[in-house]
């Protein structure tokens, strides 16, 4: 009886005997068989050399898709563990998953791995790869697995096995002299790992718990070709140049001081001016779009946080309370309860809705010191927060407006590529299912009406409502979390929010939380990395630097500087007696967008010579022409 294998393009291959996914791949093409990483048989991921005994659907995964990458990188983690065990037999192995970019493995070892040791490990991995060792799977009982890893004295593996329910099948994978506990699947052999780079080391607690032992983690990445690895390394170097922490220092924008405290940002004059410009734009746009501003305090009584529920489910992210006249107060991790308190000071009629309350509200959340990262993960930050309170009939309109508004704000900062996710109802929702459905339909139909491509994160919503997340994609293909538009069926209930409807009865309003930037700090960091520090002209602290070539032109240069200032351009004049080449180089380093050079010729025919950072010389022109050029860029 023939065995039918159905491929993703719906074509069918027939076999007389059991067949492996690898054989099927070979029958399709040599190329596919060489590129294959693992297979999916009837939706289950399996090794390429596993056996298919019955009719089945088959997908062959290669490195070019996310599933293939994950298996490829995870298999490389096994290879790294093998190399480490060969070089340092006393080390105990723990776990080694794939991550978004590459993989890591955590080892129990007293001292950290040095850079020299990383090179040794990498070289050993290359040797082991060239030996083309098959990854072979073996299934065994829990008892057998316990014995095996106890003989190997791999205590961490024993702990993992103990947690597996009795009767479950346990599998190990062996390549050469190395055996690891693993569900699989893996590459068929180490030979498919052609290019490897170990990237960095760090400490990590066993199972992420700070009460456990600190392990030594090695991160790495691998590719099927050297070309891909080299491209990746180039991308990393470019990312290093764009690192917002480096740019923040080079351009004197902000700092984080150990004396002040980790995760707490100090904004320097240049950075604070840019932040002011962002806030000013934000405020103007919100007024134009029907928002009302509110301001709320930084701390609130424990009662408030009990009512909101934050002391229950959000407690771990909040700081310890402070005692004020015998009452407990908490520094706010969120602005929502205050906005709700403002809403509740009067009774609202349906005629007043929608009400859109907005605030640049600074909040404080506890983040572990290990995860703090420049402006991206901090302990104190300002949300560009707003709460839309509306009736059921207004929901569609409000969501659509929110999306349009968010996109137009983001585009103003030069962002062009977005990744948009719609997250739907999780398994433990609060609120009524019909509300969830209505809100989800509204989010979905607004995205579709506005022709915005999106992906669905099924079940990925918070317990209190569905949401849309907008991420920004940069030139290096990295994505940055930004806007959130989030329904809330929890807080209106907890705070007993209401409005009087046309029927003269009290109704519960709909509430949407939204932040366009997310946090000003993270948004600012994203802007820096996205533009590699070359910010849009309207955001630059100094827009033009006027530079006289010799002392003879000083007065004329000062006059030009004044003319720029009068016309609303942020200008400065460089009066130092440095060579013009030096002044230009320095202005370029500071990423000042325009340089206005004044020499003998410009002085004589009352012109200026303009230079644009990242473009170069723009030639000589009248002051008015220079102003027009800048004006048109500012539009
Ligand atoms: Zn594995
Ligand atoms: Zn909120």
Q: Which residues are known to be catalytic?
A: 336, 365, 383, 385, 387, 467, 513
Q: What is the pLDDT of residues 366-386, one digit of tens each?
A: 999 888 999 999 999 999 999
Name the token pair of 185: 């699947």
Where in the sequence is the domain holding 438, given as residue range(s)? Answer: 254-296+332-530
Where is the domain boundary, 508, 530, 552?
Answer: 530
Name the token pair of 160: 């993992």
239 found inside a domain: no
351 found inside a domain: yes
Q: What is the pLDDT of residues 540-561, one digit of tens each?
A: 999 999 999 999 999 999 999 9
Give the DSSP H/E element, type plus range, for residue 274: helix 269-288
Alpha-carbon distance of 354 to 511, in angstroms, equals: 10
Q: Do residue 100 and residue 131 come from a single domain?
A: yes
Name the token pair of 397: 């309109």
* Residue 253 and residue 267 in contact, taking contact as beta carbons nearer than 8 Å: yes
Name the token pair of 61: 């995964």
Tell me, in angstroms, the distance from the centre of ligand 2 to residue 254's CA.
Answer: 27
Tell me, in angstroms, the distance from the centre of ligand 1 to residue 226's CA.
Answer: 23
Q: What is the pLDDT of residues 577-602, one digit of tens each?
A: 999 999 999 999 999 999 999 999 99
39 found inside a domain: yes
Q: Do residue 229 and residue 267 come from a single domain?
A: no
Q: Is the dihedral of CA 163, 169, 172, 173 positive or negative?
A: negative
Tell me, in angstroms, the distance from the centre of ligand 1 to residue 186's CA.
Answer: 6
468 found inside a domain: yes
Which listed ligand is nearest to 137 at the C-alpha?
1
Name the token pair of 332: 């706010």
Amino acid 166: pLDDT: 87
303 found inside a domain: no
Which listed ligand is nearest to 359 at the C-alpha?
2
Which listed ligand is nearest to 384 at the C-alpha?
2
Where is the domain boundary, 234, 267, 283?
Answer: 234
Q: What is the pLDDT of residues 65-77, one digit of tens each?
A: 999 999 999 999 9
Amino acid 152: pLDDT: 93
Q: Do residue 485 and residue 372 come from a single domain?
A: yes
Q: Does position 2 have pLDDT exceeding 80, yes or no?
A: yes
Count the Cβ atoms, other than its own, within 10 Å of residue 124.
18
326 found inside a domain: no
Q: Do residue 227 and residue 109 come from a single domain?
A: yes
Amino acid 168: pLDDT: 87
Tell me, in angstroms, the distance from the centre of ligand 2 to residue 393's CA.
Answer: 21
Amino acid 265: pLDDT: 98
Q: Do residue 83 and residue 186 come from a single domain?
A: yes
Q: Do residue 359 and residue 470 come from a single domain?
A: yes
Q: Do residue 277 and residue 146 come from a single domain?
A: no
Q: Do residue 259 and residue 201 come from a single domain?
A: no
**Cα distances (angstroms) measured from residue 579 to each of 576, 591, 597, 616, 617:** 9, 19, 12, 18, 17
Q: Does position 261 have pLDDT exceeding 90, yes or no?
A: yes
Count the Cβ atoms, other than its own, within 10 Å of residue 35.
17
* Residue 623 and residue 563 in contact, taking contact as beta carbons nearer than 8 Å: yes
Q: Does position 1 have pLDDT exceeding 70, yes or no?
A: no
Tell me, in angstroms, the distance from the centre of ligand 2 to residue 325's CA.
Answer: 29
- Average pLDDT of the chain to the nearest whole number: 95
Domain of residue 596, CATH code: 3.40.50.800
249 found inside a domain: no
The count of structural domains within the chain is 4
Q: What is the pLDDT of residues 153-204, one digit of tens each?
A: 999 999 999 999 988 889 999 999 999 999 999 999 999 999 999 999 999 9
Alpha-carbon distance of 176 to 185, in angstroms, equals: 17
One-character DSSP codes across 428-495: S--S-HHHHHHHHHHHHHHHHHTT---EEETT-SBTTB-EEEEEEE-TTS-EEEEEEEEEESSHHHHT
Q: What is the pLDDT of residues 275-288, one digit of tens each?
A: 999 999 999 999 99
* Residue 495 and residue 443 in contact, taking contact as beta carbons nearer than 8 Å: no
247 found inside a domain: no
Q: Do residue 228 and residue 134 come from a single domain?
A: yes
Give the DSSP H/E element, type plus range, for residue 302: helix 302-308
Domain of residue 22, CATH code: 3.10.20.30
Amino acid 358: pLDDT: 98
What's the whole-number mean pLDDT along residues 496-512?
Answer: 97
Q: Do residue 78 and residue 148 come from a single domain?
A: yes
Domain of residue 128, CATH code: 3.30.980.10
**Three-state DSSP class for residue 540:** coil
Which listed ligand is nearest to 82 at the C-alpha?
1
Tell me, in angstroms, the distance from the centre of ligand 2 to residue 363's CA.
Answer: 11
Q: Do residue 498 and residue 572 come from a single domain?
A: no
Q: Do residue 574 and residue 473 come from a single domain?
A: no
Amino acid 167: pLDDT: 85
Domain of residue 358, CATH code: 3.30.930.10
Where is the domain boundary, 530, 560, 582?
Answer: 530
Which listed ligand is nearest to 47 at the C-alpha?
1
What are phi and psi for residue 145, nearest 5 degrees? Answer: -65, -40
Amino acid 635: pLDDT: 85
What's the whole-number mean pLDDT along residues 27-56?
Answer: 95
Torsion of CA 592, 593, 594, 595, to 10 degrees: 30
Tell me, in angstroms, the distance from the centre of ligand 1 to residue 569's CA.
Answer: 59
Alpha-carbon distance of 43 to 24, in angstroms, equals: 16
% pLDDT > 90, the chain: 95
Tell me, in angstroms, the distance from the centre of ligand 1 to residue 52's CA.
Answer: 21
């Amino acid at each position: 009886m023939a065995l039918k294998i159905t491929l993703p393009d719906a074509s069918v291959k027939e076999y007389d005997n059991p067949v492996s996914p690898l054989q099927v791949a070979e029958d399709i093409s040599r190329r596919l068989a060489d590129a294959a990483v693992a297979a999916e048989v009837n939706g289950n991921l399996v090794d390429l050399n596993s056996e298919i005994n019955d009719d089945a659907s088959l997908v062959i995964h290669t490195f070019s898709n996310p599933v293939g990458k994950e298996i490829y990188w995870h298999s490389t983690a096994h290879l790294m563990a093998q190399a480490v065990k060969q070089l340092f037999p006393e080390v105990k192995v723990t776990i080694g998953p794939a991550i978004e970019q590459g993989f890591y493995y955590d080892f129990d070892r007293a001292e950290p791995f040095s850079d020299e040791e990383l090179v040794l490990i990498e070289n050993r991995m290359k040797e082991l790869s060239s030996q083309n060792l098959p990854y072979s799977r073996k299934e065994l009982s829990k008892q057998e697995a316990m014995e095996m890893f106890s003989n190997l004295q791999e205590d961490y593996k024993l702990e993992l096995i103990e947690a597996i329910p009795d009767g479950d099948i346990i599998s190990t994978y062996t390549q050469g002299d190395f055996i690891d506990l693993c569900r699989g699947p893996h590459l068929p052999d180490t030979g498919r790992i052609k290019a490897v780079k170990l990237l960095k080391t760090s400490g990590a607690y066993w199972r992420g718990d700070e009460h456990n032992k600190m392990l030594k983690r090695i991160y790495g990445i691998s590719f099927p070709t050297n070309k891909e690895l080299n491209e990746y390394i180039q991308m990393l170097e470019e990312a290093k140049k764009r690192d917002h922490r480096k740019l923040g220092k080079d351009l004197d924008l902000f700092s984080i001081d150990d004396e002040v405290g980790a995760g707490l940002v100090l904004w320097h004059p240049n950075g604070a001016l840019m932040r002011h410009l962002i806030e000013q734009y934000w405020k103007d746009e919100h007024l134009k779009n029907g928002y009302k501003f509110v301001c709320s305090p930084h701390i609130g009584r424990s009662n408030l946080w009990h009512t909101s529920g934050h002391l229950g489910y959000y407690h771990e992210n909040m700081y310890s309370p402070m005692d004020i006249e015998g009452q407990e107060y908490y520094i706010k991790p969120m602005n929502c309860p205050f906005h709700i308190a403002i809403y509740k000071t009067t009774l609202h009629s349906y005629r007043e809705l929608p009400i859109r309350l907005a605030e640049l509200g600074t909040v404080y959340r506890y983040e572990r010191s290990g995860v703090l990262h420049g402006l991206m993960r901090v302990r104190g930050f300002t949300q560009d927060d707003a709460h839309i309170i509306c009736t059921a009939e207004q929901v569609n309109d409000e969501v659509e407006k929110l999306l349009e508004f968010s996109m137009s704000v983001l585009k103003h900062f030069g962002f062009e590529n977005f990744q948009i996710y719609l997250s739907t109802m999780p398994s433990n929702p609060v609120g009524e299912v019909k509300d969830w459905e209505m809100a989800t339909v509204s989010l979905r139909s607004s995205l579709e009406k506005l022709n915005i491509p999106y992906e669905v994160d099924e079940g990925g919503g918070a317990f209190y409502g569905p949401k849309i997340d907008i991420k920004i994609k940069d030139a290096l293909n990295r994505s940055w979390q930004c806007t959130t538009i989030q329904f809330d069926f929890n807080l209106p209930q907890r705070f007993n929010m209401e409005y009087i409807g046309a029927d003269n009865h009290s109704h519960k309003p709909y509430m949407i939380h939204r932040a366009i930037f997310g946090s000003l700090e993270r948004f600012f960091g994203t802007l820096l990395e996205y533009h590699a520090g070359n910010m849009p002209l309207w955001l630059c602290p100094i827009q033009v630097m006027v530079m006289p070539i010799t002392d003879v032109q000083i007065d004329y240069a000062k006059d030009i500087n004044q003319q720029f200032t009068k016309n609303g351009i942020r200008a400065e004049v460089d009066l130092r007696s440095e060579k013009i080449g030096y002044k230009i180089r320095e202005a370029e380093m500071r990423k000042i967008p325009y340089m206005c050079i004044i020499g003998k010729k410009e002085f004589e025919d009352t012109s200026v010579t303009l230079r644009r950072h990242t473009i170069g010389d723009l030639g000589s022109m009248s002051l008015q022409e220079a102003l027009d050029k800048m004006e048109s860029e500012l539009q």
